[in-house]
Amino acid sequence: MHNIKTKPTSLNALYCMFLVATLFLPTVLFAQQEDHLTVDLQMMTRGEIRDGGLSPDAGEAQGDWANFVLSRTRLVTNYHKRHLNAKVNIQHSGIWGQAGRGSVNIHEAWAKLSSAEGLFIQAGRIALSYDDERIIGLDDWTMTGNSHDVLRLGFDGRNHRVHLFAAFNQNEENITSGSSFYTGGSLPYKTMQTAWYHLDIPQASLGFSLLAMNIGMQAGEQGKNEHLEWQQLAGGYAKWTPFNGTLSLEASYYRQMGKDENGLKIDAWMASAKATVVPSSALGFEGGYDYLSGDPYFAVPASGQIGLTRHEVVRGFNPVYGSHHKFYGAMDFFYVSTYFHGFTPGLQNAWLGVKYQPLSWLNIAGAYHYMSTAIKLDNMDRTLGHQFELSASCQLIQDVNLTMGVSYMTGAETMERLKRASDDGRLRWYWLSLNVNPRIFTH
């Protein structure tokens, strides 16, 4: 993702120019009655209070308490005519009071040509979402979200869908520095090719997908010994919804191979299962289990020491570009920040949840997670702790939604040593979010 630092005046000017342009676009674009233009606005503000959970720098044990307010503003223009779709999504994200006043970027900007038979070709910056978003997702909980600069083509039929897309990233347009790509962003790959196939079997209420990715990561020092290391990910996802959707069963399995940026061989995998029961329109129960493989001989240094372990194979699974917040607990302990030296002991996540809608405008959800490491650690138990979550969502008026939540974790000694939780092992997180999402123009 490419961020452009800007001052508030520049941001206001950008929005004004964009709004003025949308007023004149209809006279140029509406040459046919089938043309359609919409402009949507999203303003999301979320305040958080966090206590514990993120590993401090340099391996030092310290407090991890923070209060802050996050914000995101998106101005989204969609244009549609026969066989042509286009979208531009301008985004500003930041923290209240942040130096530089946050960042402005083009979150999405793409054009898509399609045929009546289902064939299409699409190019630009696209927010990709596949299956349950475990591997490739929007990650919409974060203020920036995920989007990819890709060329995508495929076929969307009634029961068969095939998508192929590829990306090639570079820092600058130049002829003197080659085509290296060094970045600390959330999508750090140099190049990526992906194939996805989905089949629906309506008679059996069954759908499943196959996914294969080839990712080229920039390796070597900048300007010296630059090369690519290639890693692969392959697997599948299935969902069965019998009894008119009263019961839903989901499962997935993915394996990672190849080499990481340091040239180490990768041999990692993950599996998940989920069941959902909806006895009525107002009540639902769900539960599941996730297993993500970990690195053996995982070293955790004592406070003030440096822990080194020689690894010849990377066995910790990396869920790459998924929406991690959806799966491994709302507090995002395990796949938002890395462990020491980039290795991980993996994760086992057994969970139960309930959703209740007492009123048409109110939704309440609760969940419990038992978390443990995937591998056995020296002189430590596998158990990480028990996490409890409670959230509520209120539809205040049309296009205005208020959500709030609280998460509490009783961390075991292993959690304290791995993630540097407080001495009492308790981890707390409170949040309140306001989401305003009106359609401000349509023609």
> Per-residue pLDDT tens for 337-371?
666 666 788 999 999 999 999 999 999 999 999 99
Residues 6+ apart with CB under 8 A from 291: 270, 271, 272, 346, 347, 348, 349, 374
Compare 40 and 409 and report the one with higher pLDDT.
40
Q: Which CATH architecture has domain 4-103+228-442?
A: Beta Barrel (2.40)
SS3 for 347-416, per residue? Answer: EEEEEEEEEEEEECCEEEEEEEEEEECCCCCCCCCCEEEEEEEEEEEEEEECCEEEEEEEEEEEECHHHH
Secondary structure class of 89 (helix, strand, coil): strand
**pLDDT value for 178:** 65
26 pLDDT above the threshold of 80: no
Secondary structure class of 244 (helix, strand, coil): helix
**pLDDT value for 89:** 98
325 pLDDT above the threshold of 70: yes
Average pLDDT over residues 264-283: 96
Q: How many CB atoms lie within 10 A of CB 38?
A: 16
- 142-146 long-range CB contacts below 8 Å, 24 or more apart? 142/325, 143/44, 143/70, 143/71, 143/72, 143/93, 143/94, 144/1, 144/72, 144/91, 144/93, 144/105, 144/107, 144/186, 145/91, 145/107, 146/186, 146/187, 146/321, 146/323
Average pLDDT over residues 275-300: 91
Structure letter (DSSP) for residue 136: B
Full-model pTM: 0.86
Among 10-14, 226-230, 350-354, 426-430, the least confident range:
10-14
7 pLDDT above the threshold of 50: no
283 pLDDT above the threshold of 80: yes
Compare 358 and 182 and report the one with higher pLDDT.
358
pLDDT digits (tens, 9 = 90+) for 68-101: 999 999 999 999 999 999 999 999 999 999 887 7
Per-residue pLDDT band at 331 (split at 50, 70, 90): confident
Residue-wise burial string across 385-403, b where 16 or more C-beta atoms lie within 10 A, e elsewhere: bebebebebeeeeeeebeb
In angstroms, the CA 44 to CA 432 distance is 11
Per-residue pLDDT band at 9 (split at 50, 70, 90): very low
15 pLDDT above the threshold of 60: no
**pLDDT value for 42:** 97
Integer-rounded Cα radius of gyration of the chain: 23
Compare 12 and 328 and report the one with higher pLDDT.
328
For the chain, the average pLDDT equals: 85
Residue percentage of the chain with pLDDT more than 70: 82
Among 96-100, 216-220, 222-226, the least confident range:
222-226
In angstroms, the CA 379 to CA 376 distance is 9
In angstroms, the CA 49 to CA 66 distance is 6
**pLDDT value for 14:** 40
**pLDDT value for 57:** 46
pLDDT digits (tens, 9 = 90+) for 99-116: 877 889 999 999 999 999
**pLDDT value for 378:** 78
In 186-299, where does DSSP find H-type helix?
Answer: none
Question: Domain residue spans in the chain?
Answer: 4-103+228-442
Average pLDDT over residues 39-55: 86
Secondary structure class of 128 (helix, strand, coil): coil
In angstroms, the CA 317 to CA 334 distance is 11
**pLDDT value for 300:** 60
**pLDDT value for 175:** 66
Compare 22 and 133 and report the one with higher pLDDT.
133
**Strand partners of residue 48:** 68, 431
**pLDDT value for 13:** 40
**pLDDT value for 341:** 64
